[in-house]
Copies of this chain bind each other. A is one copy, B any other.
Amino acid sequence: MAPAAITPESSGTTTPTTQSASALTQAGIKHALPETHAPLDASKITHTYTTTPRAVPAPDSDETKSQKTCTDHMVTARWTIESGWETPELKPYGPLSIMPSASVLHYATECFEGLKLYRGYDGKLRLFRVRKNCERMLRSARRIALPDFEPSELEKMIVALCATDGEKWLPKERAGHFLYIRPTFIGTDAALGVQRPREALLYVIIACFPDMTKSLPSPPALNGSAANGAAEKKASSGLKLLASNEDTIRAWPGGFGYAKLGANYGPSLVAQGEARARGFDQVLWLFGKECYVTEAGASNFFIVWRTKEGKLQLVTAPLEERIILEGVTRASILDLAKTRLSKSVNDLESLEVVEHRFTMEDLLSAQSEGRLIEAFAAGTAFFVAPVGKIHFRGKDVEIPMAEGDSGAYAKLIKSWLVSIMYGKEDHEWGVVVEEKGVPQ
């Protein structure tokens, strides 16, 4: 793959670009793998099909809501420091054999991606900007000392799995539905030394997830009927967020908040569990004495407000400090808003798109002065989720929702994304997957 543009890792751009591993290296980022070692090559992928295919659960079943059911197959690729990448294998989904001393179990040498496979209203299967996920996966791998790979090869592994399992697990009659794809990369080195893993496993699995397009999305953490109830509740009132306390910080400059590392997620579960127990959907992560607003749960956070000078703005936290995840949904929302909301649409006033820091104090004064228009969280799992309430230091802050169950801008932007994802609009971000199924 020839890169269309070379973008340094830290630029924080939201312009769609593609990056190869070598382009990232040229941009000053170190290459973990000597050039003499075998590169990841998904063109050679081998296929071993399951002999015990499983039944596909109904979209609204408890089984789907449990998020425990994966499709019939997975794709794996093993790497060793001695010889580089082995040939990727598509094979039956099943348990991994991992030594008790494996690096991933002790030192969290792991990173992952989350994206979806969509069944379009035109009958086609689509991925959404899959290359961006693969490029971010490489950046995450580098942060956690896992080896390099060409992002386009990971994309081929994802496409191969979708092409095999998509037809059965997301059939044509389920237009408007999706499956959840989880590329994962783990250090499998079976030695207790605290060191860069000398063996690793890159794999892709696909899970059945509850349908979040009919009601407002429920966070992926909720299970079974609880998820359903929460989604129904949220459909009327939006997400309820609990602002974090100073004694719990998700990420820090010089840390790794920008990368999709396991190390960013596990340590947030206690605060998240406490928020749930108190009736909130997610934690709104603040940073510093100033209470800068950073992320909501594992999603990016946006507000629409009018500045004191009267400008209408869509605002989200910037990437420069590297404490914010560089979300694909985030980048897409910023791009769409910049291109489509620079003039008024459907009676909605045009707005300015800005990535800059803002504090809870800024948000509170906008709310009390009637300048706060709406707020929403956005990410692959949550999609675009309107926020109805924020609890901060003992008091509830009500967030306006012009459309009753959503702000007007969140609703419009969401509809644009849905059109691209499900093929109502032909757009370069929607990548069609050619279905192959399992040979009979």
Contact = CB atoms under 8 A, between A and B. Distances in A.
Interface of A: 66-68, 70, 74, 93, 95-101, 103-110, 112, 142-145, 180, 182, 184, 186-187, 190-196, 203, 205, 207, 209, 219-223, 246-249, 252-256, 261-270, 272-273, 297-298, 381
A11 to B, nearest CB: 15
Contact of A247 (B68, B101, B254, B267): B254
Contacts of A248: 254
B107 A68 contact: no
A195 B381 CA distance: 13
A67 B101 CA distance: 10
Contacts of A68: 101, 190-191
A220 B182 CA distance: 33
Nearest to A70: B101
Nearest to A76: B100
Contacts of A70: 100-101
A200 to B, nearest CB: 12
Q: What is the count of identical protomers in the complex?
A: 2
B95 A98 contact: yes
Contacts of A266: 103, 107-110, 144-145, 187, 261-263
A97 B100 contact: no
B143 A270 contact: yes
Contacts of A220: 192-194
Contact of A144 (B110, B249, B269): B269
A145 B269 CA distance: 6
A179 to B, nearest CB: 12
B253 A105 contact: no
Contacts of A262: 104-108, 262-263, 266
A273 B196 contact: yes
A223 B96 CA distance: 26
Nearest to A68: B191
20 contacts: A67-B192, A96-B100, A96-B105, A100-B203, A100-B205, A103-B266, A105-B184, A108-B262, A142-B270, A180-B192, A191-B223, A192-B220, A193-B220, A194-B297, A195-B223, A247-B254, A248-B254, A261-B267, A263-B264, A263-B267
Contact of A252 (B74, B109, B255): B255
A273 B30 CA distance: 12
A104 B106 contact: no
Given A96-B99, A97-B95, A100-B96, A265 B106 contact: yes
A253 B256 CA distance: 15
- Best-surrounded residue of A110, A219, A267, A268 (most CB of chain B within 10 A): A267
Contacts of A112: 106
A187 B262 CA distance: 12
Pairs of residues from A and B, 4 with the lowest C-beta to C-beta distance, nearest first: A108-B262, A249-B254, A263-B263, A145-B269
Contacts of A203: 100
A209 B191 CA distance: 10
Contact of A100 (B67, B95, B265): B95
A196 B269 contact: yes
A191 B106 contact: no
Contact of A298 (B105, B194, B254): B194
Given A105-B184, A195-B221, A195-B222, 7 more contacts: A66-B191, A70-B100, A96-B100, A101-B182, A191-B223, A195-B272, A249-B253
Given A67-B193, A95-B98, A107 B269 contact: yes
